[in-house]
Amino acid sequence: MNNTTEKLAFTFWDGPQLSLLNILSLLSFARLNPDTILTIYTLGEGLDINAGWKTGEHSLAVDQFYVLEDLAREPTIRIQKVDSAGLEKITSVVQVADYIRIKMLFEHGGIWIDTDVLFYKKLPSYIWEIVANEGFVISYRNTITTGFMGFPKGAEVAHLALLKAQLKLKGNEFHKSYQAFGPELWEEIFLEHPQEVSQVQFLSDKLVYPILWEKLDQFFFQADESINYDETIGVHWYGGSQYSRSFTNNNLAHALTKQVPLTNFQKVIHQLNKDVNLLKDLPLPISNVGSSS
């Protein structure tokens, strides 16, 4: 970050598949952390890779989607277009997000959050202290996950990651793997530069990964008390998961109307609505997938 008092967070979104659950997740962060500027980067003109959302793990489309600009009504959210020069060969917006994450971590510093993390606690001060100094990552299921990480501006590890990402981009190597700009790249950095990364802190995966990908039903549909929410500040709900997309299409609207929370998801929403009025002034969907061209 530019100084120890400035709090910056950022993420990336592009394409038509912005769901209500994404909206709720981004609003949860913004309203819980009113002292933090959240910048949502999106692609500028001249680069259309929206089809990337319809492939692979994102093959199940979201029925109703929203306009990113609606979030700009929040006083601490900024929507900023990025220069797409040099990114034309990337056909997946997921990989564009991976690249933008690395670039902005180095150039601006701060905390990256995925758009599919539903926060329900304010970021603790110790995380910001770590970001202002050595930075942090999270190891999850034997890999360095990229959904929640932070570094100071100009951090050496972020610089190394950016150099490697630029080499992969120049050599068109990212096509070799879906995660070439994501966990695989960060794993390479930590293996190849042990001295440079020795001060980077590994935070608990329980912070935003209390639930395994394949057990999301415990969050959406159950009141599973085995999940210790005292240790977490948010829940990564894996936007490409079939559980998440099916829940968003078929169950989310009903779940939000429940006055008495029954499931883990409803309990989180109930608490958020109580603490920061999460459901106030929500935008309306602009269309559904059946009417899009």
pTM exceeds 0.85, yes or no: yes
Please state, in angstroms and rounded to a whole number, the distance separating the CA atoms of residues 281 and 147: 27
What is the pLDDT at residue 152? 98
**Residue 292 predicted with pLDDT over 60:** no
What is the pLDDT at residue 2? 47
Find the Cα–Cα–Cα–Cα dihedral 209, 128, 200, 162, rounded to 10°: 90
Best CA proximity match to 99, nearest among 151, 26, 190, 164: 164
Q: pLDDT (tens digit, 9 = 90+) per residue, 127-181?
A: 999 999 999 999 988 889 999 999 999 999 999 999 999 998 888 877 777 777 7
What is the pLDDT at residue 63? 86
**Residue 50 predicted with pLDDT over 50:** no
What is the pLDDT at residue 3? 46
What is the pLDDT at residue 53? 46
Six token digits for residue 225 = 């008390």
What is the pLDDT at residue 266? 94
Ordered by where they begin, the domains of the chain are: 8-291 (3.90.550)
What is the pLDDT at residue 58? 52
